[in-house]
Structure 1
Amino acid sequence: MIRREFIASALAAIASASALGAVQAGARRPNIIFILADDMGYGDTAVYGQRRIATPNIDRLARGGMRFTQAYAGAPVCGPSRCALMTGMHTGHARIRDNTAIAGGKLGTKGKGKQLWRRPNLLPDDRTVAQYLRDAGYRTGLMGKWHLDGFEAEATPIQFGFEEFKGWLTPLETTHGYWPAQRVHGDKLVDIPENANGKHGRYDTDMITLDALDFIERHKAGPFFLYAAYNSPHSPYTAPDFGPYADRADWSDDEKTYAAMIHYLDLGIGQLLDRIKAAGLDNDTVIFFASDNGPRSEPTPPQTRLADFFDSNGGLTGYKRDMYEGGVRTPWIVRWPGRIPAGSVSEVPVYFPDFLPTALDLAGAPVAKSDGVSLRPFLVDPQRQAADRFLYWEYYDPEFRQALRWGKWKAVRLKRDGPLELYDLSRDPKESTNVAARHPDIVARMADGMAREHAASVEYPDPPKKT
């Protein structure tokens, strides 16, 4: 089995190297855009089955590119998920594995209260996709949410490869939310007069879109890497208005607002697509779209009812913070006209650590250390089959948990040294029947994989063994 996986991986590497050679031979290196939604569930877009909220521009992305049906975020919450996306390391190896740290990191206050909590942050030893692409000659920009700084002033996007940044950082209360009184531009704090004193003049989703459009216009000569990290539809639920859902008399205000938040996000994506086309960059730009984890920002009854009303997790088990499919499976669309077949669908399992090696492959940049693989061979050939490999997650709230996918199998462990649950996703995507007792050989292999993929760190040390 191991030999077969090695041979398949080697063949994929050869195919990727061949494709890379074409880039190095003189073809224009593509611009790369990653659009990230926040707390949008697998089922929150029409192209993934949503029936109550229209997402014409996200659907437009899918019609023009490839839609992955078995794609995963880096974690079931935002900080570690974004760390996996940026560094290419899964949460068994990454610096940030939860929104809080057990040790290391820095202490700060949560929200407007006095509660102290410890947040992890990237360190100088960490390398992001933006650093690699910047060093390869790409202009790099982040518009929106970073969330990898914790309470460390030296862990901003500017320190980690983004030459331009407009958005918000963790310690600054005035920059949070959808109507911020201030934003960070590079390393400076800038006032937003329209939102001063609690006014609702400029909506964060719209500001991210406008900043992204400006970045594209100024760097259309390329190549560029743009990370448009929206905060929508993360709670609190607020929008300029109810948009096209104002007349839904049978909907609650929260339901109308949530749908309107996705509506304004979708409008922004449409503006980005239009700007790319108007600039003549359609065939020279690869666009990725995904969400950072499952739906339901906080596990409260009102938010649970809302997620269930829209079937935000697409009928899968679990929500944000869960290791089941509803917590980690995400929409994932990649569009590259002329290279990726329009309207194609892939069942290849992929996840956030794959983005870094894929981006570097597309850019013709040197291969970097990563827990992921380049998806380029699968993007250009929808019929290509992938060798089975381990996709791994761990998470620490409320206690140490693990999940592992290998081929059709998914294993979940809900506490340290606890029993493994095993699910056959090809027959049971809702993870409704634990088949561990029927497949002890698979359970043993999955347990071995979990042990191998996990490595303790300064921020997440292992407890002493009980004697």
Structure 2
Amino acid sequence: MIRREFIISTLAAIATAPAFAAPQPGTRRPNIIFILADDMGWGDTAIYGSTKIRTPNIDRLAKSGMLFTQGYAGAPVCGPSRCALMTGQHTGHARIRDNTSVGGGRLGTKGKGKELWRRPNLLPEDHTVAQYLQGAGYRTGLMGKWHLDGFEPNATPPKFGFDEFKGWLIQQESTQGYWPSQRMHNEKLVDIPENANGKHGLYEPNILTEDALDFIERNKAGPFFLFAGYNSPHSPYTAPDFGPYADKAGWADDEKTYAAMIHYLDVGIGKLLDKLAAAGLDKDTVIFFASDNGPRSEPTAQQTRLADFFDSNGGLTGYKRDMYEGGIRDPWIVSWPGRIPAGAVSDVPVYFPDFLPTALDLAGAAAAKTDGVSLKPFLVDPQRKAEDRLLYWEYYDPEFRQAARWGKWKAVRLKRNGALELYDLSVDPKESRNVAAQHPEIVAKIAEGMAREHVASVEYPDPAPKAGSKES
């Protein structure tokens, strides 16, 4: 696969740590942390091959654990991707399958605009990984971006298993952006005086990091589950300064800013790792890191230029909102020092619905209905081979689209009842050669799987007209 040789050579010099072993009777259950970047591409980190952006702490995570070369988000945009992560349901079954919906949800407006648009939201019958872990005795916290509330006041994180929430909501404009004037503390709005009246005093990713450090300190007796939902590097592009890129000759200011946004994300991750080590929790904590979809927040000329300048999609085809690899393949790292072999690289295809069953397996919690599988066996044995299974995505902008991964095969359908494109990712990771005509039996099998996995809902009825993703 693209860059695999680079990744392996980068990690080859790392001494292998002891293999993963289940906690002995009487020992504590592991803490679980999921760190999620926002619109960061597969190629935006040094460990995945970036030659322009330095990410020493993300690299540090990979060097202490397992790096997946074929890790996928839950969707090509934010809301449905996070829904898949939290609920373990892929977008053929999940409540939220686009940032907007055809039915259900609630109508609302964005900012000072008068245009009404419909956003889906989680409902009481939906269950998140936080609820299951909370029920198993974990203290649960969410810092940063939730994005599953839409315009529904009863769809906030505390209603879905999070004991502590400090961050922002879709329905609270003042809590959004990189310099918010207010922040949600559970159900309460709290002022940020440093950012009042348009001031740029406190940078949201730095606020998030401090909130996460505080959560760890107060809950270090464990076990705890922490979800750190960073904004970075989602547009608009802004940072306190250019960081280590200030003197980059030939770089435009927005290019320096984009790299600085990832720098501050990486610095935050480093602080979390240092905190765990100082508290003696590093060997008791499993850390997941990923991005919620591909790069390029909006398909503008400026953002396309930035994504291409940094090779943010790692040479893959497509960007955010695309069903091709560049839209859904993302960095995927799992670290647990002393339990997961250090510097391991896995080619097993994994995606966001796998997090919920993996977290429950690691915590010894009861199994839940899910479209994913536990990754624990692959963390135990990096050489373990995966049986072929169907990974499924659907999306509604600009119209109903589907994608599926089955073994080495990737299929894409760009309109309802349209012909399937088929790609052999083992030799064509850029999806440049459609081989559907040469493999009708594979096309038929994947088409059958797509039909099985798509289930219409109130929010996305059949036939599904355009829903229309309008942000994030």
TM-score by length of 2: 0.93
- Distance 1:391-1:163 versus aligned 2 partners, 3 A rule: same
Deviation at residue 248 of structure 1 after TM alignment: 1.3
Q: Which residue of the partner structure matches residue 201 of structure 1?
A: 201
Q: Does the 8 Å contact 1:112/1:173 carry over to 2? A: no
User: Sequence identity, in percent?
Assistant: 81
The 10-residue stretch of structure 1 (446-455 or 20-29) with the greater mean CA deviation from structure 2: 20-29
Q: Does the 8 Å contact 2:293/2:328 carry over to 1? A: yes
Q: Which residue of the partner structure matches residue 260 of structure 2?
A: 260
Deviations 1:183-234 (A, max 9, x none): 0001100000000000000000000000000000000000000000000000
Q: Counterpart amino acid of 1:260? A: A
Deviations 1:153-176 (A, max 9, x none): 000000000000000000111111
Q: Secondary structure at the match of 2:213?
A: helix
Q: Does the 8 Å contact 2:75/2:293 carry over to 1? A: yes
1:27-426 matched pairs, under 5 angstroms: 27-426=27-426
CA distance, structure 1, for counterparts of residue 111 and residue 72 of structure 2: 29
CA distance, structure 1, for counterparts of residue 148 and residue 291 of structure 2: 16
CA distance, structure 2, for counterparts of residue 398 and residue 363 of structure 1: 40
Unaligned stretches of 5+ residues in structure 1: 1-18
CA distance, structure 2, for counterparts of residue 115 and residue 24 of structure 1: 57
CA distance, structure 1, for counterparts of residue 53 and residue 463 of structure 2: 45
The 10-residue stretch of structure 1 (244-253 or 116-125) with the greater mean CA deviation from structure 2: 244-253
- Distance 1:430-1:296 versus aligned 2 partners, 3 A rule: same
Q: Secondary structure at the match of 1:33?
A: strand
Deviations 1:38-87 (A, max 9, x none): 00000000000000010000000000000000000000000000000000
Q: Does the 8 Å contact 1:23/1:362 carry over to 2? A: no
Deviation at residue 112 of structure 1 after TM alignment: 2.5
CA distance, structure 1, for counterparts of residue 87 and residue 24 of structure 2: 24
Q: Counterpart amino acid of 1:85? A: L
Deviation at residue 23 of structure 1 after TM alignment: 4.8
Deviation at residue 143 of structure 1 after TM alignment: 0.1
Deviation at residue 117 of structure 1 after TM alignment: 0.5
The 10-residue stretch of structure 1 (76-85 or 169-178) with the greater mean CA deviation from structure 2: 169-178
Write out the 4+ residue segments of structure 1 that deviate beyond 4 Å after TM superposition: 19-24
Q: Secondary structure at the match of 1:114?
A: coil
Instruction: Give the total of aligned pairs.
Output: 447
Q: Counterpart amino acid of 2:98? A: D
Q: Secondary structure at the match of 1:216?
A: helix
Deviation at residue 22 of structure 1 after TM alignment: 4.8
Q: Secondary structure at the match of 2:103?
A: coil
Deviations 1:71-122 (A, max 9, x none): 0000000000000000000000000000000101000002331111000000
Q: Secondary structure at the match of 2:32?
A: strand
CA distance, structure 2, for counterparts of residue 235 and residue 321 of structure 1: 15
CA distance, structure 1, for counterparts of residue 110 and residue 171 of structure 2: 9
Q: Does the 8 Å contact 1:20/1:361 carry over to 2? A: no
CA distance, structure 1, for counterparts of residue 24 and residue 118 of structure 2: 44
Q: Which residue of the partner structure matches residue 436 of structure 1?
A: 436
CA distance, structure 1, for counterparts of residue 55 and residue 23 of structure 2: 33
CA distance, structure 1, for counterparts of residue 175 and residue 127 of structure 2: 26
Q: Which residue of the partner structure matches residue 8 of structure 1?
A: none
Q: Secondary structure at the match of 1:412?
A: strand
Deviation at residue 21 of structure 1 after TM alignment: 11
Q: Secondary structure at the match of 1:239?
A: coil
Deviations 1:318-368 (A, max 9, x none): 000000000000000000011100000000000000000000000000000
Q: Does the 8 Å contact 2:20/2:341 carry over to 1? A: no
TM-score by length of 1: 0.94
CA distance, structure 1, for counterparts of residue 20 and residue 434 of structure 2: 42
Q: Which residue of the partner structure matches residue 10 of structure 1?
A: none
CA distance, structure 2, for counterparts of residue 265 and residue 425 of structure 1: 31
Q: Secondary structure at the match of 1:212?
A: helix
Deviations 1:287-318 (A, max 9, x none): 00000000000000110000000000000000
Deviation at residue 464 of structure 1 after TM alignment: 8.6
Q: Counterpart amino acid of 2:32? A: I
Deviation at residue 26 of structure 1 after TM alignment: 3.2
Deviation at residue 20 of structure 1 after TM alignment: 12
Deviations 1:365-389 (A, max 9, x none): 0000000000001012101111000
Deviation at residue 275 of structure 1 after TM alignment: 0.1
Deviations 1:421-467 (A, max 9, x none): 000000000000000000000000010010000000000000299xx
Q: Counterpart amino acid of 2:367? A: V
CA distance, structure 2, for counterparts of residue 66 and residue 440 of structure 1: 36
CA distance, structure 2, for counterparts of residue 26 and residue 74 of structure 1: 36
The 10-residue stretch of structure 1 (240-249 or 398-407) with the greater mean CA deviation from structure 2: 240-249
Q: Secondary structure at the match of 1:429?
A: coil
- Distance 1:464-1:253 versus aligned 2 partners, 3 A rule: closer
Q: Counterpart amino acid of 1:355? A: F
Q: Counterpart amino acid of 1:454? A: H
Q: Secondary structure at the match of 1:107?
A: strand
Q: Secondary structure at the match of 1:189?
A: strand
Q: Does the 8 Å contact 2:145/2:230 carry over to 1? A: yes
